[in-house]
Amino acid sequence: MTATPTATSAPEAPATRRGSGVATTLLVAAVLLVAVVASLAIGPRALPPSVVLDALTAFDPTNPDHLVVTEVRLPRTVVGLLAGLALGPAGVLAQGLTRNPIAEPGILGLNTGAALAVVLAIGLLGIRSLTAYVWFGFLGAGLAAVIVAGVAGIGRSGTVSRGATSPATLALAGAALTAGLGSVTTAILLTDPDAFEDYRFWQVGSLAGRDLGIAGQAAPFVLAGLAVALLCGPTLNALALGDDVARSFGRRVERDRAVCGIALVVLAGSATAVAGPIAFVGLTVPHLVRVLTGPDHRRLLPVSALVAPTLLLVADVVGRVVASPREVQVGIVTAVLGAPVFIWFVRRKRFVR
Amino acid sequence: MTAAVAVLQEARARSRRRVVLVGSVLAVATLLAFLATVSLGEYPIPPGDLLSSLVGAGPARVEFVVTRLRLPRALAGLAVGASLGLAGALFQRLLRNPLASPDIIGVGAGASAAAVVALTMLGLSGLAVSGAAVLGAAATATLIVVLARRGRGSTGLHGVRFVLIGVGVGSALLAIVSWLMTTASLTTAQQTLLWLTGSLNNVSWASTTPLLVSVAVLVPLALVAAGALPRLELGDEAAAALGLAVERSRLLLLAVAVLLVAAAVAVAGPVSFVALVSGPVAARLAGPGRASLPHAALIGALLVLLADLVARHLLGDVPLPVGVVTGVIGAPYLLLLLARSRAGGTA
């Protein structure tokens, strides 16, 4: 008799957790929807949601309110959505692959690689368009990733002692590359005032001034990277137990790590390419989401993909109104407002890690 | 039994020999880099004149160049590198995270933010900026310690919590730095970038003397306090059982490391990468353990002196800031070590 309660509640427990998982996901998605509407409606010229809806469904080119929505706010909302969709899972991947809680998408040198490529494009080739920066950003991030992967031996078979990757090596190699490429960037900036003039506005990270064309260039990469990233949950769960345990589960650790690493590069590279280096979102979102979902990467990845764009869009709206008519860039708002929230989360007792 | 003991003793002796050998090589290399810094330049000084003017018996002109211009710079490079290298290694060991160098966990960002506010908003320069940097580093470190506190005796100074709070604080401060860079005029922003890169170009005795005094006090203190590290690394319970005042020794180590960073940053700015690279390189050359801390200081000093030599001569007449070169020299070297040591599995 005494065993009955345990016997009945034991199968229920996972079901309840799965149920609350769906509820969490729906709630997070609803909040994201609110953020999207807010991003379309709020700004120096505040618009009621009905006007926003009209502008999207029954567009009237003579109505200035409609033009504000379609020409200014829609592109930056789409860019914010894309960057967030990329940065959330990228943060989870970076922390999972390096097994280091302070890893962020930039840790593998991707952001500095992208930055150096953009600076070279400005300084040597005289290119001055955000559309072109997207491709240079991609190129730089990709080259940086190849170097880090080569040094850390990603994809090589064998145990750590026989030459494969250890998470600490991966993190240190990324940090080293970040410093090296950052130095070259600084050297160019110090000697080329024109490049510096453009770069100092690019490097804060912003959603403003990007048109839908830029979003269209990056969207296929973000969606492909996202699709692969969402499949990485079981891999990251296994890697969290250590390579040897993961291998004993029958996982092909090196191949899986390489696949997830490529997803990370594509996601982080596209986010940096469209919006500039916004590192803090990728660092914090996984930690915030872990409080909602627990440490299971299979849920952490999709929920992060919903929370990160919410955070970016809200920060962007705040940046538009807080110093109106001037704007504070989204990269600055996420870090300055996000840091206290993040610290409060870390200080909580229930902080999962 | 005795055979096993003999094998152990032999292994210990071998690792001790390696520590001493690597240390001596590093010390000699640092000395050579120091002498090269003093003798090379627009007005090259032959070794004979150099030695005589160091003891005050050289030709007046040579003595002026050596003691007024080159010596403060070389000593500052030595002290800045040693402080950053030692502080970085201490942070990494104390927080058990290879990424936990002061520039990543917020202390460097605090110094930078304070200095950039002084440069861009208050229009200060010179020693006032150095003072702001020291205050910024100390205030940020205090803030992180207070925020990481768990209450009731435990300071939560180790592990993930402290590091994450440091990174959070640091990110906010760096965002403020970025924002100030976009609002300042181009000229001011360029000066700010120069300071943020880290440079020895404006060093004089006025800034070198306080640095040397601080380093002379802090480095021995750090090496003595680091005696607690092996016990701390056993975990809190074990360390307490061995009679260690866990929280106090951790706080002392942290304070010394922060002060070392502050002293270095005040003189040269946040010279990039030295603090991050020195510890891992030392551990790979000398083997992990307490013995590698002096090595980390030597590697930091060597890196800064070599980088400054390159920075002064690379572009002819235009002296680059040393912080540009530390990354360019240090990063490939660490990457090479990482690629090679994967085989040894020391990472």
pLDDT tens figures, B194-217: 888 888 888 888 888 889 999 999
B236 versus B276: the higher-pLDDT residue is B276
Helix pair angle (A279-293, A330-347), 10° resolution: 30
Over 80: is that where the pLDDT of B111 sits?
Answer: yes
Residue A11: per-residue pLDDT? 37
Q: Which of A309-313, B40-44, B225-229 has the highest mean pLDDT?
A: A309-313
Count the neighbouring beta carbons within 10 Å of the beta carbon of residue B131: 15
- % of chain B residues with pLDDT over 70: 93
Nearest to A204 among B182, B272, B325 (CB): B182
How far does the CA of residue B177 sit from the closest CA of chain A (Å)? 9
B67 versus B288: the higher-pLDDT residue is B67
Hey, of B164, B169, B193, B197, which one would you mutate to test binding to chain A, going by the most A CBs within 10 A of its CB? Answer: B164
Say if the Cβ atoms of B193 and A190 lie within 8 Å.
Answer: yes
Q: Are B250 and B307 in contact (CB under 8 A)?
A: no
Over 70: is that where the pLDDT of B20 sits?
Answer: yes
Over 90: is that where the pLDDT of B36 sits?
Answer: no
Taking CB atoms and an 8 Å cutoff, what residues of chain B touch A187?
320, 324, 328
Say if the Cβ atoms of A347 and B161 lie within 8 Å.
Answer: yes
How far does the CA of residue A178 sit from the closest CA of chain B (Å)? 8
Give me the mean pLDDT over the B254-263 stretch: 91
Hey, of A97, A102, A206, which one would you mutate to test binding to chain B, going by the most B CBs within 10 A of its CB? Answer: A102
Residue of B nearest to A150 (CA): B339
Q: For A67-76, which contacts have Cβ atoms below 8 Å and span 24 or more sequence positions?
A: A68/A43, A69/A40, A72/A43, A73/A39, A73/A40, A73/A41, A73/A43, A74/A40, A74/A212, A75/A210, A75/A211, A75/A212, A75/A214, A75/A215, A76/A39, A76/A207, A76/A208, A76/A210, A76/A316
Token couple for A246? 């993961």
**Cis upstream peptide for B72 (omega within 30°):** no
Nearest to A166 among B105, B172, B347 (CB): B347
Q: Are B38 and B66 in contact (CB under 8 A)?
A: yes
Residue B305: per-residue pLDDT? 93
Residue A81: per-residue pLDDT? 93
For the stretch B273-328, pLDDT in tens is 898 888 888 888 877 655 588 899 999 999 999 999 888 887 766 778 888 888 88
Nearest to A175 among B99, B189, B324 (CB): B99
Closest CA to A171 of A95, A240, A280: A95
- % of chain B residues with pLDDT over 90: 20
Residue of B nearest to A187 (CA): B324
How far does the CA of residue A182 sit from the closest CA of chain B (Å)? 8
Say if the Cβ atoms of B331 and A183 lie within 8 Å.
Answer: yes
Nearest to A171 among B99, B318, B328 (CB): B99
Say if the Cβ atoms of A204 and B280 lie within 8 Å.
Answer: no
Hey, of A159, A201, A336, A343, which one would you mutate to test binding to chain B, going by the most B CBs within 10 A of its CB? Answer: A343
Q: Is B347 on the interface with A (CB under 8 A)?
A: yes
Over 90: is that where the pLDDT of B260 sits?
Answer: yes
Q: Are B67 and B75 in contact (CB under 8 A)?
A: no
Residue B18: per-residue pLDDT? 83
Q: Is B330 on the interface with A (CB under 8 A)?
A: yes
For the stretch B164-194, pLDDT in tens is 888 889 888 988 888 888 888 888 888 888 8
Taking CB atoms and an 8 Å cutoff, what residues of chain A touch B343?
162-163
Residue of B nearest to A279 (CA): B171
Nearest to A346 among B97, B105, B161 (CB): B161
Residue A345: per-residue pLDDT? 76
Band the pLDDT of B151: cuts 50, 70, 90. low
Residue of B nearest to A179 (CA): B327
Residue A88: per-residue pLDDT? 93
Average pLDDT over chain B, rounded to an integer: 83
Residue of A nearest to B168 (CA): A339
Taking CB atoms and an 8 Å cutoff, what residues of chain B touch A107?
99
Kindly list the averaged pLDDT for each block of 10 residues, start to end, along chain A of length 353: 38 47 87 90 82 83 83 88 92 87 76 85 77 81 83 54 59 83 86 82 80 84 92 86 78 82 87 82 88 86 93 91 82 86 74 45
Q: Is B119 on the interface with A (CB under 8 A)?
A: no
B266 versus B50: the higher-pLDDT residue is B266
